[in-house]
Amino acid sequence: MFKPLEMKEKEKASRSDESPKPREIKRRLKAVKKIRRKKRLEPEEVELPLQVAIIGGGAAGMEAASVLAAHRCPVSLFEARSELAVNVKNKYKIFPDFSDAGQLVQTMVKALDHPLITVHKDTEIVEIIQEPDAYILLDNKGVSHTVPAVLLASGYEPFDAKRKEELGFGIYDGVINSLQLETMLKEHKVVNSLGEEPKRVVFLQCVGSRDEKVGNHYCSKICCVTAVKQAIEVKRQQPDTEVYVFYMDLRLWGQGYEELYRQSQEEYNVHFVRGRISEAASTFDGRIQVKAEDTLLGQPLKMTTDLLVLMIGMEASPGTRKLGKACGLEGPYGFVRSKSVHLEDNLSEQEGFFLAGSCKRPMHIAEAVNDGRSAALEIIKFLRR
């Protein structure tokens, strides 16, 4: 639950705080309403005299910030890292249409260039205190921010494949994760452990997802199509490379995904094998040997490959885990819990505390963007109520 502040701390917090006192917040919101009524203005015609705090400068947080600003609602965007949209930036092309991730980030960053948006990089929110009608956020620099509404958009982090020791990630150079392959594709330099063009590339799905052994029962839902996309990219860059994808089910649920799968088979001759790789080991010549069952044949098989790519899933980011727990909104697997997934997915059980993006569950970029946008509209509804 929210921690009540000791009197002394409260004084200390308010000293470093340039934002209004909690009771001032209510007064200002009322004053805005009064002006609006008197002058018969539309909500967007009156600028809100208060900052909304957005925790997390990823796809959802950035989109929410630009929508709020467009509706004349001042925003403080807090990002713990020194860069915005790191998870998007780490990608090369985005499924299903191979859009450029870098360009996408550029567009999103450009949208933040607005007089009502203040971006605080390298700023981690370490504590959230609930007051009547306001939240006080304490950051890692010792500054506190008093706000009428908070949007939590603290996102996900990629699964650490070292936890699946039997797959040899971090042990053998020929075993990489899907993000590393993304970097290789970006540089047009897909190479094996010896720096040579691989003759064979093997993808393995569901690493860190649907796996009781790492405590994740859920499906990360983007890895299937990501592997199909990456398989195509490998074939485009190196047509002579053989590509195999080991899967349990192929969950190609989104528009255009199934078509991409078919294209990967027909145009690029990507091979799909149903079965989970149980272990990977290095051969004497630095290649990787994997063991799996072809479950369609009911027969075990061995395969040697130059590169084994682990399709890592999504887990709640450290910030999501910490703040979710601190605010009493902890949901399954460390993600945060919304009020209702159907009609109140941007709301939490705490009034004035909103949620957006992959801090709730695995989401792809477009979903996170849309979720940030819808959260912004919920906040506007709340502040101008």
Partner 1 sequence: MADFGFNISKPQSIDTNDMDVNRLQALEEKVPSFRSCISCGTCTATCSARQFGSFNIRRIHNLYRWDQRKGLEKEMQKCMLCGKCTLVCPRGVNLRSLIIHIRKALADKK
Q: Is 140 in the site for partner 1 (CB under 8 A)?
A: no
Q: CA-CA distance, 172 to 305, in Å (whole number)? A: 12
Q: How far is the CB of 251 from partner 1 (least distance, A)?
A: 13
Alpha helix positions (H), the chain: 7-15, 22-39, 59-70, 86-89, 101-110, 178-186, 223-237, 257-266, 318-326, 365-383
Q: Which of 297, 341, 349, 366 binds partner 1 (CB under 8 A)?
A: 297
Q: How far is the CB of 272 from partner 1 (least distance, A)?
A: 8
Q: How far is the CB of 327 from partner 1 (least distance, A)?
A: 45
Q: Closer CB to partner 1, residue 194 or residue 301?
A: 301
Q: Which of 291, 337, 373, 384 binds partner 1 (CB under 8 A)?
A: 291
Q: Closer CB to partner 1, residue 21 or residue 262?
A: 262
Q: CA-CA distance, 157 to 141, in Å (whole number)? A: 23
Q: Is 299 in the site for partner 1 (CB under 8 A)?
A: yes
Q: Closer CB to partner 1, residue 114 or residue 291?
A: 291
Q: Which of 237, 304, 350, 370 binds partner 1 (CB under 8 A)?
A: 304
Q: Which of 8, 15, 39, 302 binds partner 1 (CB under 8 A)?
A: 302
Binding residues among 246-285 for partner 1 as defined by CB under 8 A = 262, 265-266, 269, 271-272, 274
Q: Which of 35, 41, 194, 301 binds partner 1 (CB under 8 A)?
A: 301
Which contacts (CB < 8 Å, 24+ apart) does range 327-333 have?
Answer: 327/1, 327/2, 327/128, 327/152, 327/353, 328/1, 328/2, 329/152, 329/353, 329/355, 331/360, 332/218, 333/215, 333/216, 333/217, 333/218
| Segment interacting with partner 1 (CB under 8 A) among 41-49, 118-126, 141-149, 302-310 | 302-310
Nearest CA among 21, 182, 7 for reference residue 101 = 182
Q: How far is the CB of 246 from partner 1 (least distance, A)?
A: 12
With tokens 């000791």, the residue in question is 6
Q: Is 300 in the site for partner 1 (CB under 8 A)?
A: yes
| Segment interacting with partner 1 (CB under 8 A) among 118-126, 209-217, 297-305, 329-337 | 297-305
Q: How far is CA 39 from CA 14, 31, 36, 43, 267, in A?
A: 34, 12, 5, 11, 63
Three-class DSSP category at 71 = coil
Q: Is 213 in the site for partner 1 (CB under 8 A)?
A: no
216 contacts 241 by C-beta, under 8 angstroms: no
Q: Is 236 in the site for partner 1 (CB under 8 A)?
A: no
Q: If binding means CB under 8 A, how many residues of this protein chain bind partner 1?
A: 18
Q: Closer CB to partner 1, residue 291 or residue 339?
A: 291
190 contacts 182 by C-beta, under 8 angstroms: no
Q: How far is the CB of 302 from partner 1 (least distance, A)?
A: 5
338 contacts 180 by C-beta, under 8 angstroms: no
In this structure, the dihedral spanned by the alpha carbons of residues 366, 322, 69 and 111, taken in order and rounded to 10 degrees, is: -50
Q: Is 242 in the site for partner 1 (CB under 8 A)?
A: yes
Q: Which residues bind partner 1 (CB under 8 A)?
A: 242, 262, 265-266, 269, 271-272, 274, 291, 294, 296-297, 299-304
